[in-house]
Structure 1
Amino acid sequence: MIRIAIILGSTRPNRNGPQVAQWVLDAASRRGDAEFELIDLREHPLPHLDEPVPPLLGPSVHEHTRAWAERVAPFDGFVIVTPEYNHSAPGVLKNAIDHVFTEWVNKAVGFVSYGVNGGVCAVQQLRLVCGTLGMADVSPEVALSLHTDFENHAHFAPGDHHAVTLNKVLDQLISWSAALAPLRRATAETTLINS
């Protein structure tokens, strides 16, 4: 069974992210074609990247990085739930992504964003980052507006059309995660041979 992690990419107090991430998890859990799990970055505090060598050259010398790697490694794909801060993704999310490398390679990723303009600038930047890591980003994305999908910018009340788009994101994410499985197996076998 394909395993998908929903990564909540904000750790701010009074954040809107938990409502959005739970909405994604609830919709995803009604499907029968994959297993879904929520990963909240608040539960995985990482310092600013402090590894002496790039993650590509690993292994990590720090327990916090090894624990993070073990947390994300088992998944075949990811839905990243992100706000937009100053036309970009949150620093805590970028930092979490940067802490590991191999754990992202040959996995699919989809995006659910929120912000004044739907968070689309954050997703544009994340697509570049994820592509560089060897991830396959699916085309559809859910872009939620703080003006129309949140009452008083705080209570999440998405329009019905977002559920349709989310389903398209999940359809492609699961298909691509399955299609990339042979590449992940080949990478794992090469790693075993070289270790």
Structure 2
Amino acid sequence: MFTLKIIIASTRPGRKGPAIAAWIQDVVNQHPEFAVELLDLAEINLPFMDEPNHPRLQQYEHEHTKNWSRAIDAADAFIIVTPEYNHGFSAPLKNALDFLAREWAYKPVGLVSYGGIAAGTRAVQLLKPVLTALKLVPLAEAVNIPFFARYLDDQEGFVADETLTRSANDMITELLRWTKALKPMRLA
């Protein structure tokens, strides 16, 4: 079994990322090869980068960084649930990525983006170079949710249609392939 961490990138009040993450977690739970854990950046609440040493050295001084390092190091794969803010991704996500280096390497990442008409795709395009610089492998398969508010029910739960669910399953299937393929690189 592989460990999959779902990262909720939005931290602002009124955010819908947790509802979308709960939905994608339900879809992942139908794939028994993955054990899933949610990592909510709002709850983790990392400060703005405050480590004096470069992350590649892994000489962390702060407990919040050590905890973040353990959480990311334990993962075999990731799904990032990200909104689009002004044609980009959120500052808390960039900060969370920049805190670490080696812990991210040689792991695949699926992207679930949401927004208006562009469905968060502009955020994803800006995110991919950052991910690859950290030696993460972003998948071509993704879930892009346009006008995401139309998928929210009266209790603010996310209710996907057949197309989004099929996209999610395709992404998760590909995520499993890459997880299996990249595992030996992390053991070398």
Q: TM-score, normalised by structure 2?
A: 0.93
Corresponding residue of 1:47: 47
Shift of 1:35: 1.3
Corresponding residue of 1:192: none
**Per-residue CA distance 1:80-125 (angstroms, 9 max, x = gap):** 0000000111101111111011110010001000001200011111
Corresponding residue of 1:93: 93
Corresponding residue of 1:60: 60
Q: Is the 8 A contact 1:8 1:38 kept in 2?
A: yes
Q: Is the 8 A contact 2:78 2:108 kept in 1?
A: yes
Tell me if 1:83 matches 2:83.
yes
1:181 alignment partner AA: K
Q: Which ranges in structure 2 are unaligned for 5 or more consecutive residues? A: none
Pairs aligned (count): 185
2:141 alignment partner AA: P
Corresponding residue of 1:131: 132
Q: Distance in 2 between matches of 1:165 and 1:140?
A: 8
Equivalent residue runs for 1:1-195 within 5 Å: 1-116=1-116, 117-146=118-147, 149-150=150-151, 156-186=158-188
Q: Distance in 1 between matches of 2:52 and 2:73?
A: 21
The alpha-carbon distance between structure 1 residues 147 and 60, as it changes in their structure 2 partners (threshold 3 A), is closer
Q: Please state whether the residue corresponding to 2:109 is helix, strand or coil.
A: strand
Q: Is the 8 A contact 1:149 1:156 kept in 2?
A: no
Q: Distance in 1 between matches of 2:75 and 2:83?
A: 22
Corresponding residue of 1:190: none
Q: Distance in 1 between matches of 2:2 and 2:138?
A: 16
The alpha-carbon distance between structure 1 residues 167 and 184, as it changes in their structure 2 partners (threshold 3 A), is same
2:164 alignment partner AA: H
Q: Is the 8 A contact 1:149 1:159 kept in 2?
A: no
Ranges of 4+ aligned residues in structure 1 off by more than 6 Å: none
The alpha-carbon distance between structure 1 residues 158 and 70, as it changes in their structure 2 partners (threshold 3 A), is same
Identity of aligned residues (%): 38
Q: Is the 8 A contact 2:23 2:159 kept in 1?
A: no
Shift of 1:148: 6.9
Q: Which ranges in structure 1 are unaligned for 5 or more consecutive residues? A: 187-195
Q: Distance in 1 between matches of 2:157 and 2:70?
A: 34
Q: Please state whether the residue corresponding to 1:137 is helix, strand or coil.
A: strand
Q: Is the 8 A contact 1:7 1:81 kept in 2?
A: yes
Q: Please state whether the residue corresponding to 1:103 is helix, strand or coil.
A: helix
1:59 alignment partner AA: Q
Q: Distance in 1 between matches of 2:92 and 2:148?
A: 24
Q: Please state whether the residue corresponding to 2:66 is helix, strand or coil.
A: helix
Q: Distance in 1 between matches of 2:23 and 2:152?
A: 15
